[in-house]
Structure 1
């Protein structure tokens, strides 16, 4: 009797390849299995997409955790090879004038974001799903046929994630668009402004977040530019790291900026107050916001643990909002939708407004999978939308620095390192020596120098781990340790105007800094850096001059 074939050992490498193949099969967005002509075409379609933050399949009976995974087009092997060769070429430092950017250059008028197709209550869920699927396929096809396609960067390819945006836009009375002030012009899609303000006749508030990382004059410059270009747009300032939530000195002995967050923190009252004032100006007396104002005053000096998590009735996951008709200030409740790209600080902002942790926070793009409704008070609720990368012509290297793409999953990090090194003096800031004792630096030289200083070596051959060093530098840039910021148009010409304008005092107030010349305020040189956990870098003694900080909630009580 013939015996069954003996099982062949299954290596770890083969298992890894099998898992990768399964992931690729799940990333196919636009293909229709019933119309696949050949295996070669099918494989080409699969390889064109890649899922970000893919999670192992959950247990039976639970929802698919990858339903809202970020999806982007995959770079070809030829593109990767070319970029890796470019990493060996010398850096070409750019002037400060070249660091001014005009948002209209990156968001052409004929490039818009996917908007929900018309629907009515007579449609079944299946019909609605089919209609939206068809619309999204046609939308992607239109972009592929546009002249901008070859210059377009990463943008969201998951229809489920766009559906979350559609739900939030339908529910909200006011849209809160959060951007990282360092890259404000590249995170503000004009098509979203046109849709909300002109088409939907709703109000939009733009939040310039992380203002503690840039000079106050740059913040004022961005507000002046955006309010002038987009009529009716309200711009407010915010930071989840005001002065009273920071501990220790403002710089180390090497002159590098150091920011350490306290374990126990207080509600960011200043930023929350500016958002409240903007909402009060919009709703007038149609909604009672006194409870929100009272909440801010009561929690101004209350400290909370950074890892405290509020659970239970505070967070509600909206499972099905397919059929929803907007009713302004329904039941006397103001609904504020929070939208922004990944890593702009939406969840941190919501936690700061609440005065306690109600939304999970992560540095990984796509951490928020579905929108969440959070009751701020009985008359105000917040809707947190997953981070979305809008279609644009923003260079991919800048998208990586902005945090739109997970650094750990980069196939080629050196293009982003080049962009950063040509605008910041990385050898001086990182205090690294050239690995070959040369005077000319390339992106690979900087990564090798940092790997040598940090002791990053490969496991087998003990060579310099250049890739790990590149990831480390990019994470420092994302966190604001290596702080690059881009300027609005004509900022160099108007620098003195912005440095002396009235807005400066409001910016300092939101930062909670009482001394306008404090040491931890970033300078306009664009070369601020925090200590990158180097053992050779020590903080100042307690006798050194400390930044004077205070919570001045009532400082503007008498101002208009």
Structure 2
């Protein structure tokens, strides 16, 4: 309260009226919707402590009319009993899974009836208020239908904020080509078939699937995922891409223990190989309707040049007061090709733009929800990209896998040990991290791994100087998100046909896009064959990891992440006044 202002009296009657007004706001057609906040995510102090909605990236209200939480992420919240049970399970012994258990089929996660919210029918005769009310009623009914037909606890985290879905609707409306981006490590768990059906059949638009971050996966696995999508979705155009080809990195890509280390150069070049494949796909779809010569010439001119990481002005569309206005779509309007970039958080949409331009043009961050509203940038005079905010589609993807995919902010994860367990049952974490068992035992649990890493890194609690397991778990999850600890899921049948994919002719194309050196190709070949690296007991591999060249300028830099945790890239032991009390390596 401002200094000098006296508190105003607040009667019990006024309080009852206030509570009644809040209750009415949560009523839709006379029916109460207890699990949903007001659509738009702008209820500041109205959120009760017992709500089942968890709002992330929340910002304080700074004045009348201010709506900083309009695009805040909203997910269903886990109960305290569920959190307690998962913490107990984290102390149980690990049960390593078979190699075939790493194979996934996207149809197992995305049921046909579990669709994403689509814009309800509308016409230009409706007023702004009518449109807004119609969309709010539709979205409430959509969520109510999910609550009635599915067990919310069995569903994955998915976006509950109507304003975020409105951004998707606008991008789908104004785009000529939909570019859906997935992380190659979890490609099958990121691609919703309902969106493919809606874009190709209902909207009748072209659809490109871009397999991003292919530098993190072996070339045979990339090829296998490419053919999996081509066979299952025949109308898709498949492109492969990495924002960090070999010439934008320095040093070895793997340490002695098998952890991936990607040190970026201070000045980056355009990711020309992947960009060229994207241009070819667009040219094939557009034909002679849009002249892409300027885009092709741009690649030729910049392929040998190195650009400074400088910011340029970004043209933002539809971020105006008239948020419910509609875009009158005309295909290739004005001879301009519009490509809408869509995907889940942390798949690298904004970094894709930066890599295509060869300089920073869009702000990026590790924190999901960093891109609040979609923004456009012109590659050339007749080619523009629309960067849509990251969207988490409804699915049955396991929540630990969602955390590894980057859909949920790690810093706001109430219980990280289940995700560590999921990771440790599929990778040999003690060998990768070269940690010793904190109790000198032979049986490992998720908590043992966190304690072992805390002991190695010197993570101690401030008061009692005990091993800080939570901070260690947070650190390991960041390393997994960053690609240092790399778990790659596989398409169905990959293990059985591994030799076939190992000698597939498309591998040469993947290596060309990755721009790998001979040493890197050998390391990826060993990983694809299932060989172990030179696992030395020396700790140099982890401790030698260095800072990335440009903090905050790429999806792979987490030094200035918004959640305030110390950067994992800085592998020096964190200073702690109680460190001398711990037995640290």
Are the aligned partners of 1:483 and 1:526 in contact in 2 as well (CA < 8 Å)? Answer: no
Q: Any conservation in 1 of the 2:342–2:388 contact (CA below 8 Å)?
A: yes
Deviation at 1:46, TM superposition (A): 5.2
Matches within 5 A, 1:287-306: 287-306=290-309
Change (3 A) 1:256 1:141: closer
CA distance in 1, matches of 2:283, 2:182: 21
Alignment of 1:144-543 (within 5 A): 144-147=147-150, 149-254=152-257, 256-306=259-309, 308-311=310-313, 314-316=315-317, 318-319=319-320, 320=322, 322-513=325-516, 515=518, 518-521=521-524, 523-524=527-528, 525=530, 537=542
SS of the equivalent of 1:304 reads: coil
The superposition leaves residues 246-268 of structure 1 with CA deviations (integer Å, 9 ceiling, x where unpaired) of 01233445564432110111000
1:66 aligns to what? 69
Say if 1:48 and 1:101 are closer, same or farther in 2 by CA, change over 3 A.
same
Is the 8 Å Cα contact of residues 267 and 352 (structure 1) preserved in structure 2? Answer: yes
1:75 aligned counterpart, secondary structure: coil
Task: Report the secondary structure of 1:128's partner residue.
Answer: helix
Q: State whether structure 2 residue 59 is matched by structure 1 residue 55.
A: yes
For 2:162 and 2:244, the matched residues in 1 are separated by 34
Cα 1:496–1:335 change in 2 (3 A) is: same
Alpha-carbon shift at residue 473 of structure 1 (Å): 0.4
Contact 2:167 2:374 in 1 (8 A): yes
Structure 1, residues 150-176: CA drift from partner, whole Å, max 9, x if none? 421100000000000000000000000
**In structure 2, the residue corresponding to 1:335 is in which secondary structure?**
strand
**1:145 match: secondary structure:** helix
Q: Does residue 31 of structure 1 match 2:26?
A: yes
CA contact (8 A) 1:50 1:73 kept: yes
TM-score, normalised to structure 2, is: 0.82
Cα offset, 1:454, TM superposition:
0.4
Aligned pairs for 1:111-150 within 5 A: 111-147=114-150, 149-150=152-153
Does the 8 Å contact 2:257/2:533 carry over to 1?
Answer: no
Deviation of the 1:146 alpha carbon: 1.1
Tell me the secondary structure at the aligned position of residue 184 of structure 1. helix
1:235-287 deviation per Cα after TM superposition (whole angstroms, max 9, x unaligned): 11000110000012334455644321101110000111111000000000000
CA distance in 1, matches of 2:417, 2:87: 7
Task: Pick closer, same or farther for the CA change 1:37–1:219 going to 2, 3 Å.
Answer: closer
Q: CA deviation at 1:493?
A: 1.5
- Summarize the Cα distance change of 1:392–1:33 in structure 2 as closer, same or farther, 3 Å threshold: closer
Q: Distance in 2 between matches of 1:205 and 1:373?
A: 18
Structure 2 stretches lacking a partner, 5+ long: 1-5, 8-21, 37-45, 546-585
TM-superposed CA distance for 1:482, in Å, is 0.2
Q: Which moved more, 1:513-522 or 1:70-79?
A: 513-522
Separation in structure 1 between the aligned mates of residue 507 and residue 32 of structure 2, nearest angstrom: 62
User: Does the 8 A contact of 1:508 with 1:516 survive in 2?
Assistant: no
Question: What's the CA shift string for 1:28-83, capped at 9, x where partnerless?
Answer: 9983499799999997785200111112224556x522100110011011111111
Counterpart contact for 2:368–2:407, Cα < 8 Å:
yes
Alpha carbons 2:260, 2:483 under 8 Å: kept: no
8 Å CA contact retained: 1:413, 1:471: yes
| 1:159–1:445 Cα change, 3 Å | same
- 3-state DSSP class of the match of 2:268? strand
Q: Does the CA contact (< 8 Å) of 2:218 and 2:524 recur in 1? A: yes
Encode CA deviations 1:478-528: one digit per residue, 9 max, x unaligned.
000000010000111221111111211111111012548634536123988
Instruction: State the TM-score, normalized to the length of structure 1.
Output: 0.86
Range 211-220 or range 255-264, more displaced:
255-264
Separation of aligned partners in 1, 2:35 and 2:177? 48
| Greater shift in the superposed pair: 63-72 or 403-412 | 63-72
Aligned CA distance change for structure 1 residues 39 and 227 (closer, same or farther; 3 Å): closer
Q: Does 1:87 align with 2:90?
A: yes
Q: Which moved more, 1:92-101 or 1:520-529?
A: 520-529
- Contiguous gaps of at least 5 residues in structure 1: 1-5, 8-26, 541-560
When residues 190 and 438 of structure 1 are mapped into structure 2, their CA distance, relative to the original with a 3 A threshold, is same
Structure 1 SS opposite 2:396: coil
